[in-house]
Each structure stands twice: as structure tokens, then as C-alpha cells.
A and B are shown apart, each in its own frame.
Chain A
Amino acid sequence: MRDTDDSRREEPEPIAPQRLKEDLAALSRAGFPVPADVDDAVRAMARRHFSARKRVRHTVGWLAAAAAAAAVILAVLWTSPVLQRSISPSAMLQDIDRSGRVDILDAFALARLVENSTAPRREWDIDGDGVVGRRDVDAIAMTAVSLNKGDLQ
């Protein structure tokens, strides 16, 4: 082990020949003069290139922000009762008293309308059988008591 260390210490530093040193130094020096207008043109090209990239990044940022805003608006509309009512036209049809939900008072309202009206309106034909009567009232009442829309559970 000691022998190896000693032999390393004894190795001389490599010395490059003078000619090689000069050639290497010449390589790193500009070999020809660059005119000022070429320099300006290169600088202008670089500026244009980087400003275009900045514009693209800016546009992408705006697009991402717009997409996020659109997603938020859609989520709000999707969960709002307004859109839900427009999604389910049959539920809207059964909401006789326009309270925003179907409950027994809608069936009750239709029952009173049917009892007191000599010319029932076509839109009261909830089950679409061509006759406005007790079956339409029952259809609304059954929607009202459906377990799919319970509040307690």
C-alpha cells in the first residue's frame, strides 16, 4: 500500500507542448470580426423569439383561468335548483304550485283545480292518458312520497 502511494507521489506533472497550448488558445479567440448590424439583427431575432414565447405563456395562462372559471360556473349551475328543474321537465310539470319541489300540496292543488274547473287544461294531464282526473292527482302524490327524495335519511 505504501509503495503505491509513494510511486504516485513520484509521477511528474504532464506538461503540454508550447505549440499545443497556443493552438488551444487560438481556438477560444474569435477568428473573424462580427459586424455591428449582424450583431443587432441576431439580438432582435432573439428578442422576437423570447417575446413570442412569453405571449404564448400568457395566452395559456388566460385560457387556464377561463377554463377554471367555466368549470366553477358549470358546477354551481349543475347543483342549483334552477337547472335541476330545467333538467327534469316531468318534475316541473308536477310542481303545480311552482314552489320548486313536488309535494302533496301540488296534488292537492290539482285536485282542487280539477274539481272547480269545467275545462281542464292540457298541461294538467300528468300521466299523458288524455284525461285530467284523479289518476293525475295520484301520480303527483306518489312522486311526493317517493322514498328516493327523503329528507331524514
Chain B
Amino acid sequence: MRRFLLGLTICVLLAGGLAAQETDRREAEPAPAARFRAVDVFVDSGASALAAYQLELAAEVGAVKIVGVEGGEHSAFREPPYYDPAAISRDHVILAAFSTQKDLPKGRTRVARIHVQITGDVEPEYALKLTTAALPDGTRISAKVSLAEQGEAK
């Protein structure tokens, strides 16, 4: 009986030691690398003055989290656009803004900058879709939308 109890104790101690070793090994493994990037959003209204826009951005590939939304370069769109606060920490956002001022941008202009957190090695890919754009009198116009990531055109 004594031998049995001694054997059992040794087994329990060994199992505990192995489990602790496994936990240490797992803790020592590096977490997936997270990096932060800024994604610029452009609207090109050509020769027309851009007074309003609405677009939708979604990360289709990669582990991406939106962490912040900034305004654009022109004074008409310098304030951050409207967006759903629920988009923060998600990979999908709808951006919209308008301006009633007289001085409005024409051609390609940066309307917003999105800050994202990327986890893992997969390079993110985004889908960008213009919902609407308009002239100062509210007339809908067609426009092109594009993204650029830290100087890299996409």
C-alpha cells in the first residue's frame, strides 16, 4: 500500500511539472505581431466641386481593426467625417461628409484618413465603394474613390 501511495504521489508530481512546463512554453510563444497603419481615402470628382460624399470601406482580407478616423486635406472636409462609432474595432466603416461652404475641392482630394491595426502577416486588402457624391446644390454626381496606404497607391 505504501509503495502504491508513493508511486501515485510521484505520478501526480510529474504530471504537474509537465503541465507547468507546457504553460511556460505557450507563454513564451510570441503573440502575433500587430502593426498600425494609416489608410488615406480619396474622392475624385473631376471638374465638379465636391460638396458631399458617402462611401463604404471594408477590409476583405487580413485581420484589420479600425482604430481611428481623421478628416481630409481640404478645409471643406477637414473635420472627421460622420461614421458609426461601432465601426471602431471592426473592419468595416461607412464614411460621409458634406460642406456648405463656397470653397470646395475639385479633382482628387483626400477626404479622410483611417487608422487601422493589422494583426498577423497577411497583407490586408480593402473594398471601397462610393455610395453617393454631390454638387453644392445637391445634384448627384459620379466620382472615383481610391485608397493609399502610407504613400503606397492602391
B is a partner of A: yes
- Residues of A participating in the B interface, judged by any CB pair closer than 8 Å: 97, 103-105, 107-109, 111-112, 115, 138, 141-142, 144-147, 150-153
Contact for B56 among A97, A107, A109, A150, CB less than 8 A: A150
Shortest C-beta distance, B45 to chain A (Å), equals 14
Q: Give bound CA distance, A111 to B112, whole Å.
A: 21
Q: Which residues of chain A come closer than 8 Å to B84, judged between CB atoms? A: 142, 145-147
* A112 to B139 CA separation, bound complex (whole angstroms): 13
26 contacts between A and B (CB under 8 A): A97-B138, A103-B96, A104-B53, A104-B96, A104-B98, A105-B52, A105-B132, A105-B140, A107-B96, A112-B100, A141-B98, A142-B84, A144-B82, A145-B82, A145-B93, A146-B94, A147-B87, A147-B92, A147-B93, A147-B94, A150-B58, A150-B94, A151-B129, A152-B56, A152-B92, A153-B58
Q: CB-CB < 8 A to B96: which residues of A?
A: 103-104, 107, 141, 144-145
A-B contact count (CB 8 A): 78
Complex: how many Å from CA A150 to CA B55? 10
Report chain B residues within 8 Å CB of A151: 56, 129, 131
